[in-house]
Amino acid sequence: MKVKSVAAILVSIGLSGAVLSACAQVPPPPEQDISAGRHPHLAAAQAHIQSAYNELRAAQAANEYQLGGHADSAEHLLDQASYEVKQAARAANAR
């Protein structure tokens, strides 16, 4: 009986740790890898996306991560914007 309760506690602790670990993982910011020499405007757009991402992170920290999930949604949209800007640079490179 005692072994079952100890096992249950260990499983509970393990699951709690896994959940906290998953929540604590922060996705990396969007890449900033477009050549400013080749595509100055696209590189500038990518830099602005990076800046916006950094400001969102600062706002989240300042508000104790209580922004109703909207900052997370904005981060995902910035990731998407960064991807599209990168695809634009690739398309221009392919011409």
User: pLDDT tens, 60-89?
Assistant: 999 999 999 999 999 999 999 999 999 999
Closest CA to 89 of 38, 31, 32: 38
Residue 42 has pLDDT above 80, yes or no: yes
pLDDT on residue 67: 95
Percent of the chain with pLDDT over 70: 71
Distance CA 79, CA 72 (A): 11
pLDDT at 27: 63
Give ∠ CA 25-26-29 in degrees, rounded to 5: 150
Q: Which whole number is the average pLDDT over 30-58?
A: 93
**What is the Cα–Cα distance from 35 to 42, expressed in whole angstroms?**
8
Q: Is 94 helix (H, G, I), strand (E, B) or coil?
A: helix
Residue spans per domain, the chain: 2-94
What's residue 14's pLDDT?
67
Q: What pLDDT is stored for residue 71 in this prediction?
A: 96
> CA–CA separation, 31 vs 63, rounded Å?
25
